[in-house]
Amino acid sequence: MAQILRINLTDRSAKIEPIPEVYQKLGGRGLTSAIVGREVDPLCDALGPNNKLVFAPGLLGGTVAPTSGRISFGGKSPLTGTIKESNSGGQAGQYLARLGIQAVVVEGTASAGKWCKVVVTKDGARIEDASDVAGLNNYDTVAKLQEQYGTKTGCISIGRAGEMLLSAASIAVTDRENRPTRHAGRGGLGAVMGSKRLKAVVLDPQGADRVPLVDAEAFKAAQRKFLNALNSHPVTSEGLPTYGTNVLTNILNEAGGLPTRNFSSGQFEGAEKVSGEREHDIMKARGGNPTHGCHSGCTIRCSGIYVDKDGHFMSKAPEYETVWANGPNCGIDDMDAIARMDRLYDDIGLDTIEVGAAMAVAMEGGVLPFGDAEGAIRLIQEIGEGTPRGRILGSGALVTGKVFGVNRIPVVKGQAMPAYDPRAVKGMGVTYATSTMGADHTAGYATAANILGVGGKVDALKPEGQAELSKNLQIATAALDSTGLCLFTAFAVLDDPTALEGICEMISAKYGMPFSADDFVNLGKKVLKAEREFNAGAGFTKEHDRLPEFFKREQLPPHNVVFDVSDAELDTVYRF
């Protein structure tokens, strides 16, 4: 029986309650956005006691459905002021689901300096003092917690960035090797966790029952159908397992859509040196592992293990967006330097995209030269140390631009754009502009049809059809983010109808209710509508669904294109 765990840190209570009817049969983003939408005042202070932080595994969390271990984190974002859902791999999603917890709702805030942790076992949840791990970064925090609670537990934690309430702070989730390498990066939810003085949540799934399935046989059949679709699609069966997400560096560079040196060009002369192919070769040659899942039960396994020249673990293999943000976007072409940055980001607890984008803005502002990898590493360390310079970067690209007098700031609703220039991948531009989350590639991954030829083909360089493309992807993504399945399953879903059939049939079999492809689409629409409603209450209007002016003014080489999807077109995205 799924339940809700309410932690109130003002009065230090932890209560496990039956899940209210209005939240039943919801999961992941659908559930976090429903709870935040109903329970959080859109005008509250994102770092005050009236914001809530919600964690939720997906509808299929805890089952054997492939890639179903994503966990959603939700709340009002201190970075954007909008509602926020940011999801992560790692073990926590499966563990929570197996513990019968459909959502954790963290409310209130502990007194200054009184850091807390929450421990959840099959017997319930308790709040404990966390002064022993306060002030530590994620790697040390997790190591200490594993000593205390054993290596069969999973951990959700924040590093120094979250403690300092920096707007680019992430929430870390431990992976299969008990390392804090998986992050809910976007939107500063780590700062929300820090504002509540919640340092960590320890999840001990030992002895927990299996997740109940109403029709186990039907589930098994559906699961096979879905797995088969994943195993048949070239992206999920070959591209991602072999090269990881960083397979995209060469592809985007080729397409002229790889934002270089703070979005001043769409091609980087050093792209090949930081490509997925090169990353793969380095891992292979040094005894790392390019093909590895970010959580148990993942069959795509795009998340590698990156090691140094002596074969020692450095970091999980940097993802494409991390490589881009801290590589081409900063004029840096050194893969090992990027892996060191990745490790620092994970340790301090930072969004690699937001800070990488801020770094490039700082470089444009003359803080350090483009291409200065050692300088960038030093600056990331400074974030952990809390120097003024470090704190500026840790507050994201917008603040960094304001402070250093740079007005080419690639953000929407305060959140930095990821690794796809909106002028050369215009469908992504529509997603950045209109997403309920601020600029976010995962919200409606138009790169699929714009660049990869997945789910049809829409010319990346032309404005036509981009709004419709983004709209449909945003709806499907909002639904998929509610299932707990990895977004990468969408590649199969877009090309192979049996993939979505498998998903719907698994949900149907687990909950014992009809669930059709139409229900899936309606779920996505419902989630987006709840999010838009929250944002309207926070003062967001269509005027916020726009890209910064310079994307309409400055031509992007090599195609010399500007962003020219009209405002009127952008405003059609939410007409459904």
Residue 136, SS3?
Answer: coil
Which residue, 460, 403, 415, 461, is CA-closest to 442?
415
Q: In degrees rounded to 5, what are phi and psi of residue 103?
A: -155, 145
Q: Closest distance between a second copy and the C-beta of residue 478, in Å?
A: 23
Tokens 């405002």 -> residue: 567
d(CA 14, CA 7): 4
Is residue 96 within 8 Å of 160, Cβ to Cβ? no
Is residue 155 within 8 A of residue 174, CB to CB? The reply is yes
Examine residue 336 and tell whether it contacts a second copy (CB under 8 A). Answer: no
Spatial neighbors of 198 by CB under 8 A, at least 6 apart, are 7, 9, 53, 106, 110, 115, 116, 117, 118, 158
Alpha-carbon distance of 205 to 198, in angstroms, equals 20
For the bound state, the minimum distance from the C-beta of residue 192 to a second copy, rounded and expressed in Å, comes to: 11
388 contacts a second copy (rule: CB under 8 A): yes
Q: Which of 95, 404, 420, 445 binds a second copy (CB under 8 A)?
A: 404
- At position 329, the amino acid (one-letter code) is N
User: Which residues have CB under 8 Å from 78's CB, separation 6+?
Assistant: 46, 47, 165, 167, 187, 188, 191, 192, 195
Q: Decide: is 538 part of the binding site for a second copy (CB under 8 A).
A: yes
**What is the chain's alpha carbon radius of gyration, rounded to the nearest angstrom?**
21
In the complex with a second copy, the residue whose CB is nearer, 130 or 538, is: 538
Site for a second copy (CB under 8 A): which residue of 384, 540, 565, 573? 540
Choice from 60, 165, 317, 487 touching a second copy (CB under 8 A): 165
Q: Which is nearer to a second copy, 164 or 487 (CB)?
A: 164
Identity at 218, one-letter amino acid code? A
The region of 260-268, 298-306, 314-322, 546-554 touching a second copy under the rule CB under 8 A is: 546-554
Contact map string, positions 406 to 425, toward a second copy, x by CB under 8 A: -x------------------
Q: Should residue 389 be labelled a site residue for a second copy when binding is judged by CB under 8 A?
A: yes
Q: Could you tell me the smallest distance in angstroms from the CB atom of residue 190 to a second copy? A: 12
- Judged by beta carbon, residue 221 or residue 562, the one nearer a second copy is 562
| Nearby residues of 414 by Cβ (< 8 Å), 6 or more positions away | 79, 80, 81, 396, 398, 438
Q: Which of 101, 544, 561, 569 binds a second copy (CB under 8 A)?
A: 544
Q: Looking at beta carbons only, is 231 or 407 nearer to a second copy?
A: 407
Q: Is 193 one of the binding residues for a second copy (CB under 8 A)?
A: no
The helix-helix angle for 352-364 and 335-348 (nearest 10°) equals 120
Question: Binding of a second copy at residue 135 (CB under 8 A)?
Answer: no
Interface pick for a second copy out of 3, 16, 25, 44 (rule CB under 8 A): 44
Interface pattern 53-72 for a second copy (x via CB under 8 A):
--------------------
Q: Could you give the residue ranges of the DSSP H alpha helices within 349-465?
A: 352-364, 373-385, 388-394, 397-403, 426-434, 447
Does position 550 bind a second copy by CB under 8 A?
A: yes
91, 93, 98, 101 alpha-carbon torsion, rounded to 10°: 140
Candidate segments 243-251, 325-333, 475-483, 539-547, binder of a second copy by CB under 8 A? 539-547
Neighbours of 477 (CB within 10 A): 23
Kindly indicate which of the ranges 36-44, 260-268, 270-278, 313-321 contains the residues binding a second copy, using the contact rule CB under 8 A. Answer: 36-44
Q: Which of 81, 80, 65, 77 is nearest to 27 (CA)?
A: 65
CB of 193 to a second copy, least distance (A): 13
Is 164 near a second copy (CB under 8 A)? yes
**Residue ranges of E strands in 273-345:** 305-307, 313-316
Could you tell me which stretch among 20-28, 250-258, 325-333, 386-394 binds a second copy (CB under 8 A)?
386-394
126: Cβ contacts below 8 Å, ≥ 6 apart: 14, 118, 119
- From 94, 195, 262, 431, residue interacting with a second copy (rule: CB under 8 A): 195
Specify the residue, 111 or 206, whose C-beta has the smaller distance to a second copy: 111
- Enumerate the H helices of 240-319 as residue ranges: 240-243, 248-255, 276-286
From the list 59-67, 134-142, 403-411, 443-451, the region that binds a second copy by CB under 8 A is 403-411
167 interacts with a second copy by CB under 8 A: yes
360 CB contacts (<8 Å, ≥6 apart)? 261, 262, 263, 325, 329, 330, 370, 397
Q: Which stretch binds a second copy (CB under 8 A): 292-300, 308-316, 381-389, 496-504?
A: 381-389
* 168 versus 271: smaller Cβ distance to a second copy: 168
Of the candidate spans 13-21, 229-237, 402-410, 425-433, the one that interacts with a second copy by CB under 8 A turns out to be 402-410
- Of 17, 39, 45, 464, the residue at the interface with a second copy (CB under 8 A) is 45
Please tell me whether residue 427 adopts helix, strand or coil conformation.
helix
Which residue among 525, 537, 562, 574 contacts a second copy (CB under 8 A)? 537
The site for a second copy (CB under 8 A) is made up of 41-45, 47-48, 50, 78, 164-167, 191, 195, 387-389, 391-392, 395, 399, 402-405, 407, 537-544, 546, 548-550, 553
